[in-house]
Structure 1
Amino acid sequence: MDINNIITFIAVATLLVISPGPNGFLIAKTVPVSGQKAGFANIWGFVGAFYVHGTLSIFGISVLLVQSSQAFFIFKSLGAAYLVWIGIKSLIAAFKVDSIKVSDLAQKTTKSISMRTAFLEGFLTNVLNPKVSMFYLAAFPQFISINESSMNAYALVTAHVVVNFVWFSTMVLMLSRIKSATNNVRFRRWLSSITGIVFIGFGAKLALMKSS
């Protein structure tokens, strides 16, 4: 595999990872409320989804999203509905904050989300995102020659995973330092409200996305 292709792919993948999107807001929602371990569980969910999209792209299955407008619409609708559902849950949590006693807040924070749920949120946020699939359909194949082995193709997926893991791990470590701020009721209400609105916005934007 050409080293220039690898470097170029990493640059493109980096731009995709660091651009504002659902992943960053999911981490921002999870870590202050549920802690560092839950944040890393989100990231492992991202990783699993990337390998799913990479595998579908390598074996040509994802091309159905491009060739079938109906398949793309169903896939897009599922992704949009899931993002809106996360947003609604966050808004409901914001309204419930007022009924939580401050003395009980820390205890509820540590139990607010399981590692399995955090992993699934990260996984589903990405595996149901047509934009990630489009990346692996449009950009990914340009860095692989026709005779390229699947091992080399998976090496590029792994490069994307590493960039993603480094970036969001840094975010998790930074956000975990302000976890104590969640003992403040106003902060919890503000955080849940903002993330709820943002996720609903992402869902609406995804629902309006047109197949290329």
Structure 2
Amino acid sequence: MQEIWMFTAVALMIVMVPGVDSLLVLKNTMIHGKKAGFFTMVGIVVALFVWTTLAVLGLATIISKSIVVFLFIKYAGAAYLVYLGIQSWRAKAQNMMLQEQITPNQNKNASLSCMVQGITTDLLNPKTLLLYVTLMPQFIQPEFNVNSQLILLAGILIVLSIVWLGIVIFVINGIRKWFMKPVVQSVFNKMTGVLLIGIGVRIAKEQ
């Protein structure tokens, strides 16, 4: 039981520290509204479920030990973040519209795109992989069922992610109307772009 509480505290800090997930949810909520933020969060959660499944099957450890596969995930993830950053930098201010001004078809496409972004960034995030194969095992007691403990710890991580990202969506959607000025939109897009590109470059350069 002590290990569970310790992991919960560590996982909470990991989730709350500003990173790719929070930045992506923030960006999509600000640009497209709370529905897009929610779909981004759904994509992130789906990716976490995939990583949990791979970990339970033992495939996550195999992936982490394969230099070729690990480097592919690392550089593909970095490249994707740079791509999203460039997109954000080049985005026009008028694309940042209030939800009611977007047609149903545009809204659907934006939501699906945001969910794909959430899935892709987390599946190609080497830090998420390392979390499953290096951090979680430290809180698992070998005398008990390992897979059950792994699923429990992953469940805690997923619940904390949903709660925290939900708070981000709620807060950002609440202040979103103050960011509708073209100048503010343009600055926000460029700042987000720089951050995404910076994170991508940092991931690519990490040893």
- Output the TM-score relative to the length of structure 2: 0.89
2:122 alignment partner, SS class: helix
Q: Distance in 1 between matches of 2:4 and 2:30?
A: 35
Provide the residue aligned with 1:48 in structure 2.
46
Q: Distance in 2 between matches of 1:36 and 1:109?
A: 15
Q: Are 1:151 and 2:148 counterparts?
A: yes
Deviates more, 1:50-59 or 1:134-143: 50-59
What CA deviation, in whole Å up to 9, does each residue of 1:60-93 have, x standing for no partner?
2122343222221111111011101100100110
For residues 1-212 of structure 1, the aligned pairs below 5 Å read 3-93=1-91, 96-97=92-93, 100=94, 105-106=97-98, 107=101, 111=106, 114-146=110-142, 147-148=144-145, 150-210=147-207
Deviates more, 1:42-51 or 1:63-72: 63-72
In the alignment, is the contact (CA less than 8 A) between 1:33 and 1:109 conserved in 2?
no
In the alignment, is the contact (CA less than 8 A) between 1:83 and 1:202 conserved in 2?
yes
In the alignment, is the contact (CA less than 8 A) between 1:31 and 1:176 conserved in 2?
yes
Q: Distance in 1 between matches of 2:80 and 2:61?
A: 22
Gaps in structure 1 of 5+ consecutive residues? none
In the alignment, is the contact (CA less than 8 A) between 2:48 and 2:158 conserved in 1?
yes
Q: 1:120 to 1:10 in 2, by over 3 A?
A: same
Matching residue's letter, 1:91: W
1:20 alignment partner, SS class: coil
Gaps in structure 2 of 5+ consecutive residues? none
In the alignment, is the contact (CA less than 8 A) between 2:32 and 2:97 conserved in 1?
no
Q: Distance in 1 between matches of 2:43 and 2:168?
A: 15
Matching residue's letter, 1:131: K
In the alignment, is the contact (CA less than 8 A) between 1:64 and 1:71 conserved in 2?
no
Q: Distance in 1 between matches of 2:44 and 2:145?
A: 25
- Output the TM-score relative to the length of structure 1: 0.87
1:66 alignment partner, SS class: helix
Q: 1:121 to 1:49 in 2, by over 3 A?
A: same
Matching residue's letter, 1:77: Y
Count of paired positions: 202
Deviation, 1:176, is 0.5
What CA deviation, in whole Å up to 9, does each residue of 1:136-168 have, x standing for no partner?
110111222334153342121111111111111
In the alignment, is the contact (CA less than 8 A) between 1:27 and 1:172 conserved in 2?
yes
Aligned-pair Cα RMSD in Å: 2.1
